[in-house]
């Protein structure tokens, strides 16, 4: 039987990668669409040997884009997180790395046209209702037309070489999935975790969502230094069991309900910085230690670092905001991630400050243009 072909561009966005589709090229009903995405990525299979997936959560991601449907919005973006060995398609979280490839994809596929030497478009992330302005370089080419520029001098840790800068200015990320920035109502909570295969333990955490729901905790409270390698973290089954028990227990307190099948909240261990940053992180997504840190997770960690009374406040080495602006360097296993924050004093508000703006720099690249083939029995096509 002939296979079904679906146009797509395979793109790197930040430190993630995956296929991008126009929404109009996929099935309109969610159940069929999810079966198509699973087939395209080769899930469920640990190696994803029969699809485009890279056998890791960071390379098991999909972007779906369409023209904007709200006034002032240029593009709608739906992010889908798949898992190599599971048959789940999760469209509830954000992904700031894949977000970096949305405008390049839209320009490459003709959903929008360049607007000058740089082109800025407003993007709505359908997963959470978050909006941002994304700016990409679009210089004139030798053919007299404007194209996305991928070559440049911008460098981000976790990606080899350099590339053209992509600026992402988040407009409103507080409470992207949770009921608010501090979903428990506190800058710090003390929780006792019980488990069948480990001793009960009590630790202090900060539950926060400024683009990504996180549970932040001091690495030392779990018997870690916070500087362990990713391999050592992933090999520590005792630690991972304790983190998952904490995640399941605290999910309802964050207004997230039962999180057993969800990819959030992310569990993030923090420690004092070692390389000149504000603090060091080890972030689980949620069961595998991240080789770096997600874009929106970095924004959320940076936010917790400027709020008074959080667990980050104990370890972060950060001067007071100058004119309400801070540059927070978040260290991770393969480098650092800098977030620019604007905030203002807010007496009476938990944490004492309100973050009004967050911006960061990413890069992206078009890797392959073509069609992904899926079995005809899954979807015969439009």
Other Cβ atoms less than 10 A from the Cβ of 68: the count is 19
Q: Report the pLDDT value the prediction gives residue 229, as an integer from 0 to 100.
A: 97
State pTM to two decimals. 0.75
Q: Is 180 domain-assigned?
A: no
Q: What share of the chain is helix, strand, coil (3-state, %, to 5)?
A: 20, 35, 45
Specify whether 229 is located in the same domain as 93.
no
Specify whether 227 is located in the same domain as 158.
no
Note whether 216 and 311 are within 8 A (CB): yes
Q: Report the pLDDT value the prediction gives residue 1, as an integer from 0 to 100.
A: 67
State both tokens at 184: 């428990």
Specify whether 193 is located in the same domain as 141.
no
Specify whether 19 is located in the same domain as 98.
yes
Specify whether 195 is located in the same domain as 310.
yes
Continuous segment of H or E residues that includes residue 305: helix 295-306
Q: Is 359 domain-assigned?
A: no
Q: Is 173 domain-assigned?
A: no
State both tokens at 209: 């969502």
CA distances from 335 to 86, 225, 252, 278, 330 (A): 30, 17, 33, 12, 9
Closest-CA residue to 204 (of 218, 193, 220, 194): 218
**SS3 state at 213:** strand
Pairing of strands 213-218, 201-209: antiparallel
Provide the CA 244 distance to its chain's centre, in angstroms.
19
Domain count, the chain: 2
Note whether 263 and 308 are within 8 A (CB): no
Specify whether 215 is located in the same domain as 76.
no
Q: Is 181 domain-assigned?
A: no
Specify whether 128 is located in the same domain as 266.
no
Q: Is 160 domain-assigned?
A: yes
Q: Is 382 domain-assigned?
A: no
Segments of the chain with pLDDT less than 70: 1
Specify whether 111 is located in the same domain as 65.
yes
CATH number of the domain at 280, please. 3.10.310.10
Specify whether 87 is located in the same domain as 9.
yes
Report the C-alpha gap between 33 and 346 in whole angstroms: 45
DSSP, res 319: P
Phi-psi region of 299 (alpha: psi -120 to 50; beta: other; left: phi over 0): alpha
Residue range of the domain that includes 53: 4-165+364-374
Note whether 299 and 360 are within 8 A (CB): yes
Specify whether 230 is located in the same domain as 273.
yes
Q: Is 328 domain-assigned?
A: yes
Q: Is 347 domain-assigned?
A: yes
157-173 pLDDT, tens digit per residue, is 889 999 999 999 888 78
């Amino acid at each position: 039987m002939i296979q079904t072909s679906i146009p797509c561009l395979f793109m790197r966005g930040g430190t993630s990668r995956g296929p991008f589709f126009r929404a109009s090229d996929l099935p309109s009903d969610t159940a069929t669409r999810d079966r198509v995405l699973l087939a395209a990525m080769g899930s469920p299979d640990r190696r994803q040997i029969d699809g485009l997936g890279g056998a890791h959560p960071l390379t098991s991601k999909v972007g779906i884009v369409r023209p904007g449907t709200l006034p002032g919005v240029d593009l709608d973006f739906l992010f889908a997180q798949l898992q190599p060995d599971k048959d789940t398609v999760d469209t509830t979280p954000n992904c700031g790395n894949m977000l970096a490839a949305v405008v390049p994809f839209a320009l490459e596929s003709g959903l929008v046209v360049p607007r000058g030497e740089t082109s800025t478009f407003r993007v709505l992330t359908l997963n959470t209702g978050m909006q941002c302005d994304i700016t990409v370089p679009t210089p004139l080419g030798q053919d007299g037309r404007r194209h996305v520029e991928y070559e440049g001098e911008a460098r981000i840790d976790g990606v080899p070489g350099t590339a053209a800068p992509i600026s992402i200015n988040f407009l409103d990320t507080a409470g992207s999935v949770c009921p608010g920035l501090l979903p428990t109502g506190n800058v710090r909570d003390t929780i006792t975790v019980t488990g069948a295969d480990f001793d009960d333990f009590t630790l202090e955490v900060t539950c926060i969502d400024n683009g990504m729901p996180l549970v932040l905790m001091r690495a030392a409270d779990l018997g870690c230094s916070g500087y362990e390698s990713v391999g050592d973290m992933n090999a520590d089954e005792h630690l991972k069991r304790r983190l998952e028990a904490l995640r399941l227990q605290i999910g309802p307190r964050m207004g997230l309900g039962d999180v057993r099948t969800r990819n959030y909240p992310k569990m993030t261990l923090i420690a004092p910085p070692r390389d000149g940053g504000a603090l060091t992180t080890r972030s689980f997504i949620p069961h595998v230690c991240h080789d770096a840190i997600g874009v929106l997770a970095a924004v959320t960690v940076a936010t917790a670092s400027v709020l008074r009374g959080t667990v980050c406040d104990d370890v972060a080495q950060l001067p007071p905001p100058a004119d309400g602006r801070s540059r927070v360097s978040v260290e991770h296993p393969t480098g650092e991630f800098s977030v620019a924050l604007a905030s203002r004093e807010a007496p009476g508000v938990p944490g004492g400050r309100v973050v009004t703006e967050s911006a960061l720099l990413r890069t992206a690249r078009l890797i392959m243009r073509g069609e992904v083939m899926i079995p005809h029995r899954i979807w015969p096509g439009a």
